[in-house]
Structure 1
Amino acid sequence: MSEAEETAKVRRVWDRQAPEYDRQIQLLERIWFTGGREWLTSRARGRVLEVAIGTGRNLPHYAPGTDLTGVELSPAMLAVARRRALSLGCAAELHEGDAEQLDFGGGTFDTVVCALSLCAIPRPAAALAEMHRVLRPGGRLLLLDHVGSTWPPIYAAQWLLERFTIRSAGEHFTRRSLPLVRAAGFEIVEHERRKAGSIERLHARKPPAG
């Protein structure tokens, strides 16, 4: 499958899931991702880009007046995010776009946020390279995702689940963000793993110029 075909497949998957996504994820957010969105948004500063904004579930958690831009591959997910932004009175600029090919100049943003999405981006290293490019020197990268657990029985279950989810939806459960973030040239500022190591929160920094 070519890169373009793989990207189109991911777009179709999330277009199909968009109508039910919010309902399906509510329970997981209460018991598994608890506090993750608040953790991310409380650290966002300056001009913020949220990559793979989905249905906009982070929008209620940003500080009032945040200068926010969001990009999302799925038009159906983006439509839900736009309705949510309107209902909240949020002036975010929301665009259809690909995390692996961000349509912004280098050094445009002070903060890049990506929540529960690197797990399903086909080429996460390419996406992180783009996040690095669009951040100004010294800018912040804030990530939340589910990753391979540190507890072997849970890791084994995740590995088995992936045999289905990677083929059907491109979603990974044992993929780790930390080594990819380091390889992209970021410096780690904060790093937390929760829920038997299956949830990872990362705050990283693009090194200052010079």
Structure 2
Amino acid sequence: MARSDRTRQRRLDRRSGYGAGYGCERLTIRDSRPWVCRQAHGRTLELAAGTGLNFPWYASDVELSAVDLDPERLAVAAARAQARGQTVHLGVADGRRLPFDDDTFDAVVCTLALCDVDDRSGTLAELHRVVRPGGSLLLLDHLEPRWRHGRPATLAERVGFTLVQRQRLWAGYFERVRLQKPG
């Protein structure tokens, strides 16, 4: 990867609020990215993939599709995937209107991104639509004032997912969860 590409990658990671040397992440969310991504299997969608920081944590047999609103971040994600020799199907898409058929994915992953979504319930309902029955929704989120109406896991339960596993870090400030679509 050329120096200018690495500089662009770091700038986008900082602007996105993550990836600043991973030092902060090691202290706060610890192994949460691998915890979430390693549970994905089969056809997997990563929502709000950003610059592809999660890509190294997926198993080699995962058929990964990744979407984000920002084409510039996706360009960095494409370079990261290519540098790893990893095939990732990338696309620009809004989480409230995903360009996929019903029951398409075995798993959907979203890390530290639902906080930026205005219509969290609508987005989670759309994720419920694209996950096949028996499939998983894997989330990592952090506490913020808007969660007084329910954290993402609670909102996901309201749209039809069933909570399978919940782990809280830093006295509940961060939460990683696995939910399942019944069926």
TM-score in same-fold range (> 0.5): yes
* Matched-pair identity in %: 41
- In the aligned structure 1, how far is the partner of 2:162 from the partner of 2:21? 31
Checking the alignment, whether the CA contact within 8 Å between 1:147 and 1:177 is kept in structure 2 is no
- In the aligned structure 1, how far is the partner of 2:74 from the partner of 2:13? 11
| Gaps in structure 2 of 5+ consecutive residues | 1-10
| Per-residue deviation, 1:124 | 0.8
For each residue in 1:146-205, what CA deviation from the matched residue of structure 2 results, as whole angstroms up to 9, or x when unmatched? 125xxxxxxxxxx5xxxxxxxxxxxx6766212201111101100111111101111000
Does structure 1 residue 176 correspond to structure 2 residue 154?
no
Checking the alignment, whether the CA contact within 8 Å between 1:49 and 1:109 is kept in structure 2 is yes
Match of 2:131 in 1: 135
- In the aligned structure 2, how far is the partner of 1:23 from the partner of 1:173? 24
- In the aligned structure 1, how far is the partner of 2:124 from the partner of 2:142? 16
Does structure 1 residue 191 correspond to structure 2 residue 166?
yes
- In the aligned structure 2, how far is the partner of 1:81 from the partner of 1:96? 12
Q: Which moved more, 1:18-27 or 1:193-202?
A: 18-27
Q: TM-score, normalised by structure 1?
A: 0.76
Match of 1:112 in 2: 108
Q: Which has the larger radius of gyration?
A: 1
Checking the alignment, whether the CA contact within 8 Å between 2:153 and 2:179 is kept in structure 1 is no
Match of 2:56 in 1: 60
For each residue in 1:30-69, what CA deviation from the matched residue of structure 2 results, as whole angstroms up to 9, or x when unmatched? 1111100110111111110111111101100111132000
Does structure 1 residue 18 correspond to structure 2 residue 12?
yes
Q: CA RMSD in A?
A: 1.8
| Gaps in structure 1 of 5+ consecutive residues | 1-16, 149-158, 160-171
Match of 2:7 in 1: none
| Per-residue deviation, 1:26 | 2.0
For each residue in 1:101-151, what CA deviation from the matched residue of structure 2 results, as whole angstroms up to 9, or x when unmatched? 111000011101101101111111111001000011111110001125xxx
